Structure 1
Amino acid sequence: MSMSSRFSRVGKGALAIAAATWCLGGPALAAAPESNDPIKIALFDWTSVNLNAKILGGILEKLGYTVEYPTADYLSSLTTGLTNGDLTVAMEFWDTTAGEAMKASDATGQTEKLGPLGPKAKEEWWYPLYMKDKCPGLPNWEALKDPKCAEAFATPETAPNGRYVGGPVTWEGFDDERVVSLGLPFTVIHAGTDAAMFAELDSAYQREAPIILWVYSPHWAPAKYKGEWVEFPEYTAECYTDPAWGVNKDALYDCGKPFGDIWKYAWGGMKEKWPVAHKVAKAYTIDTDVLNAMSGKIDLDGMSPEDVAAEWIAENEATWKKWAE
């Protein structure tokens, strides 16, 4: 008998025991996970994804599973760790930045798209409203082409160019290419980490200092700070693949970033090896406002992701138990 068949048969028996235990009011699956091998939930380099990982992991631990949290690279995990089973689940792949990587992952046939997380994704250049007086044509992107507007966003390291604070380089997003293709007099400076990027925003905002940077939603920042996203030419697939599309007939990426969903992914073997855990991961969704508020507890109030996750798990027991039924 193959290893996969053995796990399938063991899993069915475990599910029967779990169902009986649940009906008797006991802790479902606490004594009978389908496999004791660790379910590996990926951690990336921003707050919300790691919070979602800890919530899912905490639920699975309540159900008797062993859980580990390896740190992984955002995009390459789709075509390496999740394809070979080194990772079991990853909770956030954004249409805004991971579209091509998701297509490549789907083409392998070794991963499973578990469905949307719930919130809609938006990632774009963002500026505080106090900067609008210095660049009055905003939010239209063409205002940024004015040298005076660029100088308003300049720092000593970039002058006379404006300074745009991009996300960590692993997020991609094509901002370096966008600056060139749209002829913007800006220099892209990539933040080392998500936390550093938003610490810089907070510092600048308190002083009303010049700043324009990558801000995304869901996140607490658009609720805490008054500002606007730049309105670039609307994204289409051709903008990223056909130079003849758009305002620059010789270049790609002469548009804004795509908007869309945030997706969960699993290793293709998860459903067979851990069927109840797979069911929970597939059913898992979170409300945008709830996720923003919880992320703020971590980044603004100093709570640990584990403590915030534990709060959610305790307050939503009826919800996640239904996911496991």
Structure 2
Amino acid sequence: MKAIGFKTRTVAASLAVSAIAIMASSFSATAQESQDPIKLTLHDWTGQLITTQIMGDVLQKAGYNVEYVQADYLAQFAGLETGDLDVAMEMWETTGREAMDAATATGKVENFGPTGMKAKEEWWYPSYMKEKCPGLPNWEALKDPACAEAFSTAETAPKGRYLGGPVTWGGFDDERVEALDLPFEVIHAGTDAALFAELESAYQRKAPILLWIYAPHWAPAKYEGEWVDFPEYTPECYNDPSWGINPDMAYDCGKPHGEIWKVGWAGVKDKWPGAYAAIKAFTINNDEMGKMITDVDLNGKTVEAVTDDWMAANEDRWMTWIGK
């Protein structure tokens, strides 16, 4: 997702991975609202842990009971539909739109609006690889056997190697390779941290690497490189095999770009109307998020320390979210 935070989608933070309940006393939730915990989902990349922690902190300041629950990025919709989970702070247009649309169509899940961040997730390569595959960033350069071999490893040769995100992120990379007839093998990183550790290692050695990079994230700023230009995404590309370059297969295009959404159980607005308003009001931009992810992933700070700093520096802002 995407994805992967500036999608790092790493769990370098010390957030709880089991459900915890916390009550705050700075403000009081209105008397008619439920004191049941609002269950916020945690995923496996740093940016999402940050947005979730900020939202949880704000809700606690308003007097709500908050519970953090580890959940799968796409499979979480089952829990959101039943109300076993309440809020997911990041659903990326790039990887989660189909799952989100299917869930909201049931009427049991609501799109709570954009987070303010803009998402991009796509295949990415370091600039030094352009010498070995000079047709880049045009995706058709990857069809050249010599270019594919330049991206190969001992395990994939003569096919190139594409390092995708964890399987749970979705993204349809395996389908894209098949639909566009690319001589590449998709290898999925086990974790967000592993994805970017491999990039760091390859970049330092000027070794071949082609991988999933996402923004907002620190990697596109730290490393010199480019995203591959695939045929532009349209909904028909994913849903209509007859559309596009390959008349027999879907996913013969790049990934969508766009918003990062907040989604949740449709019952939140009735059970916790004040919290619902605060969640809808939440907004943060790519630059803010990129700096916080950098502090966690590169500078060794904890998610809690970074979000505490953000809360202190932005009190006037988040106070308006809770109507103070």
Indicate conservation of the 8 Å contact 1:33/1:64, yes or no. Answer: no
Q: 1:31 to 1:238 in 2, by over 3 A?
A: closer
Asked whether 1:36 is paired with 2:35, we answer: yes
After superposition, give the CA deviation of every residue in 1:119-153 in whole Å (9 maximum; x if it has no partner). 11111000000111111100000000111111111
1:37: how far off? Answer: 1.3
CA distance in 1: counterparts of 2:317 and 2:306, whole angstroms: 17
Asked whether 1:277 is paired with 2:275, we answer: yes
After superposition, give the CA deviation of every residue in 1:218-261 in whole Å (9 maximum; x if it has no partner). 11111111110000011111111222211111111111111111
Name the residue aligned to 1:11: none
Name the residue aligned to 1:75: 74
Name the TM-score, length of structure 1 as normaliser: 0.89
After superposition, give the CA deviation of every residue in 1:143-193 in whole Å (9 maximum; x if it has no partner). 001111111111111011110000111111111111111111100000011
1:28: how far off? Answer: 3.0
Asked whether 1:232 is paired with 2:230, we answer: yes
Residue 102 (structure 1) aligned to one of 100, 108, 111: 100
Structure with more relative contact order (C-alpha pairs < 8 Å, separation 6 or more): 2
Name the residue aligned to 1:10: none
Q: 1:307 to 1:31 in 2, by over 3 A?
A: farther
Superposition CA RMSD, Å: 1.4
CA distance in 2: counterparts of 1:28 and 1:116, whole angstroms: 26
Structure 2 residue ranges without an equivalent (≥5): 1-24
Asked whether 1:125 is paired with 2:123, we answer: yes
Indicate conservation of the 8 Å contact 2:29/2:274, yes or no. Answer: no
CA distance in 2: counterparts of 1:183 and 1:27, whole angstroms: 58
Name the residue aligned to 2:244: 246
- Return the structure number with greater helix share: 1
Indicate conservation of the 8 Å contact 2:161/2:209, yes or no. Answer: yes
Give the letter for the 1:138 counterpart.
Answer: L
Structure 1 residue ranges without an equivalent (≥5): 1-25
Name the residue aligned to 1:209: 207
Name the residue aligned to 1:310: 308
CA distance in 1: counterparts of 2:303 and 2:144, whole angstroms: 43
Alignment: residue pair count: 299
Name the residue aligned to 2:19: none
Give the letter for the 2:48 counterpart.
Answer: V
CA distance in 1: counterparts of 2:32 and 2:211, whole angstroms: 45
Q: State the secondary structure of the residue aligned to 2:41.
A: coil
Indicate conservation of the 8 Å contact 2:216/2:289, yes or no. Answer: yes
